Each structure stands twice: as structure tokens, then as C-alpha cells.
Amino acid sequence: MRTRRFAPLIASLSVAMATITMQATAVAQEGLFNHQLRRLHSSETIDLAKRFAGQPVLVVNTASHCGFTGQFKELEAVYQLYKDKGLKIAGFSSDDFKQEAGSEAEAAEVCFVNFGVSFDMFASIHVRGPKAHPLFREIARQSEEPRWNFHKYVIDRNGKVVATFPSRVEPDAAEVRKAIEQVL
């Protein structure tokens, strides 16, 4: 009999907990993507929250003169394979490992002309250490800092890093595709 008396209270607490969880998820998404960054070799600024919040995203730190630069080809192939299912890819140019082109024009040529990149590429930022952009500080807090260029992070619709892959793992490797498919 006492159980029935507490049923409305238990139901109210359940609704309150669900609401708090949804609000926490929204804050996590905002925290990760609450930034505006300039496109690579462009004056256009992109609001990352509008572009990526609530979407599955593959985040990659890139460089134009790295032994892994050829991965742009596989990144583009992965993007073409999954973009209609909602996947976004965000490439963040960085010279933290001293392998980015000397100019944005040259970096853009490598990405867009040499490899036909059509996913979002952003102007050079710091991705590790004390100068890391807040986006990458949050990614590192949730997982790890990039150890080299072309470190890959699979981020779910809630703004959580669910998988990371080092540079040597190709973007179209089975384990990367599996992680992407799990967040679609």
C-alpha cells in the first residue's frame, strides 16, 4: 500500500532525472563545439555548434607535408560513403608537429586540389599542449591528445569521443568504419 503512495513521487523523480540528463548532453555538445573557426584559406567563419552539434563527427588534425598526408584520399572516400547517413568530417590544419605548409594557399591546394577534399577543413590551430584550441583540449580531456598528424576521433551525436585512432590507422580501416557505423 505504501508503494502506491510513493508512485507519483518516483515518477516525478524519473522525469526530473531524464530532463537533467538531456540538459547535460546539450551542455556537453555545446562545450565541445561552442566555437567559431575560419575555413581553410577563406574569410568564411563557421559556427561549429550549428554545423556539428547533434551530428556524428570524425575529427582529424592534419598537415600538408606529413607522411600521412595521403590519408586525405581515404578521408574523402569515407566522407562520400557516410555523408548521406549523417557523418560529418572536420579537418583541422595544424603546424604543431612542424609539417604544415608555409601558407594557407599551399595547404588548401594540397587538400582541395591534390586530394579533392569536400569535407570541412579549418585554418591552422594548435591541437596539443598549453596552446591547444579549446575544442582539442576538450577532446584530450575525454580521450587523449593527438600524438601526431592525422590522429582521428569519432564523436557521437552527444558530443562524446567514443573512439580514437592514431595516425598509422587508415581512415577507411575496418575498425574506423565500425566505430563510425556505431554512431550513425
Return the active site residues: 66
Only one residue has cell 554512431, namely 183
Cα–Cα distance for residue pair 28/176, rounded to 1 Å: 23
DSSP letter at 52? H
3-state helix, strand, coil in the chain (%, to 5): 45, 15, 40
**What residues pair up with 62 in beta bridges, in sequence order?**
93
Three cell numbers, residue 51: 554545423
- 137 CA to centre of own chain: 12
**What residues pair up with 37 in beta bridges, in sequence order?**
46
DSSP letter at 130? T
